Amino acid sequence: GFYADDFYHELILSGQLDTYGVSTNPLLDLFSFLPADGPLRDLVERAGFEPWWIAPNVHINFFRPITALTHLIDHTLWPQIPLLHHAHSILWMCALVWTLKRLYRISGMSGLPLGMALFFFVVDDAHILSVAWLANRNAIVA
C-alpha cells in the first residue's frame, strides 16, 4: 500500500490541494517537501509538516522529473491500486538488474561470478526500501 510520503504524492497527483487554493505541477512539485514560498509552503506550515525549529528560508525541492513522470503514469492508469504501483517499481528494479548484467558483461565478467554478483545485488537489503516504498522509486530510476 501507500506509506508516508506516498500520501503526499497522492494529494499532489489527484489535485486535492486545489481545494486549499494551492495549484501544483506534479512534474515539478512532487518532490517539493519544503517549498521556497507561496501557498504550498503556507499549507505545509499550517499542516504541521514543517518542524518548528527550521529556519524560514530553508527549502527542500528535489528536481526528479523522470521519477515524477513514473508516478504520474501510475496515478493516471491505476489511481487507487497500489499493488500495480509496486509492480511498476519492481519492473524498474528488473531493468536496473538487466542493465547491471550488461555492464558486468562488458567488463568481462561471465559465468558463476556474474551470477553471484547479480544475486548478491538483488538480495541486498539496502535495495528493499527503494523497491517497497513508492516515494523512494527515484533511487532505482537514478
Q: Which of 25-34, 39-48, 78-87 has the highest mean pLDDT?
A: 78-87
Residue the block writes with cell 509538516: 49
**Residue 87 and residue 12: Cα distance in Å, rounded?**
21
- Residue 61, classed as helix, strand or coil, is strand
- Residue 50, classed as helix, strand or coil, is coil
pLDDT for 15 equals 82
Cβ pair 60, 34 in contact under 8 A: yes
Residue pLDDT, tens place only, 5-36 = 888 888 888 888 777 777 778 888 888 877 77
**Residue 99 and residue 82: Cα distance in Å, rounded?**
26
Determine the residue type at 35.
P
Which one-letter DSSP state was computed for residue 60? E
- Model confidence at 88, pLDDT cuts 50, 70, 90, reads very high
Q: What is the pTM of this model?
A: 0.81
